Amino acid sequence: MKLKWYGHSAFKLTTDKGVRVIIDPYESGFGNGGLTYGNITDEADLVLTSHDHGDHNYVRNIKGKFTRIEKEGAYEVAGIKVTAIPCFHDPSKGKDRGGNLIFVIEADGLKLAHVGDLGHVLTPDILQKMGSVDLLLLPVGGFYTIDAKEATEVMNAVKPRLTIPMHYKTEKCAFPIAGLDEFTKGKKGVKMIDAIELNVTRELLPREPEIVILKHAL
């Protein structure tokens, strides 16, 4: 599969058979202009939105006749299995920012988890529902989500082969969240990829866990 990072928490997954999945598309300019990644206008067969905030649910510009998943449940669309697991956007069981969905996606012999705007460390029940994960898309910036320390705890609990950080401060994100260094400092196996897209196969998975940073976005 190919994994493209648009920026923030938005990704496009394209399977070997050409099925296109867009996850958590943002509205460019959201947050009084604080989010300036480019408009997402690709075609999709499947769109996943973890919660109803404009930096995660903006489907208006996406092309194609896509199926949208935005509720808890188990689904299969175009040969892709998706499990949407409920959790919370904050450590107060949703009292501050509401609910959130973790998406576990099975395609091309791989298992990918996108945890949306996860606001707390994972409970044993959620970890059991997620099962073994090859690739973890993980927010690390704090304030609206788990911070670098909590993200490290989540990563260590899930034990993916690859972790891709997301939802952190960049030159195109002026939100009051931390940058990437807070999460990566002191960690081994951190790799910067000079691209917007990553090709992932079971054969290419590293033997030892790695943190992969996609350097470019829209």
Give the β-pairing of 190-193 and 197-199: unpaired
Q: Chain centroid to CA 170: how far?
A: 16
For the residues of 124-135, what is the DSSP string, one character each? HHHHHHH-S-SE
Does this model's pTM top 0.85? yes
Q: List the chain pLDDT tens, one digit each, 218 residues.
A: 999 999 999 999 999 999 999 999 999 999 999 999 999 999 999 999 999 999 999 999 999 999 999 999 999 999 999 999 999 999 999 999 999 999 999 999 999 999 999 999 999 999 999 999 999 999 999 999 999 999 999 999 999 999 999 999 999 999 999 999 999 999 999 999 999 999 999 999 999 999 999 988 98
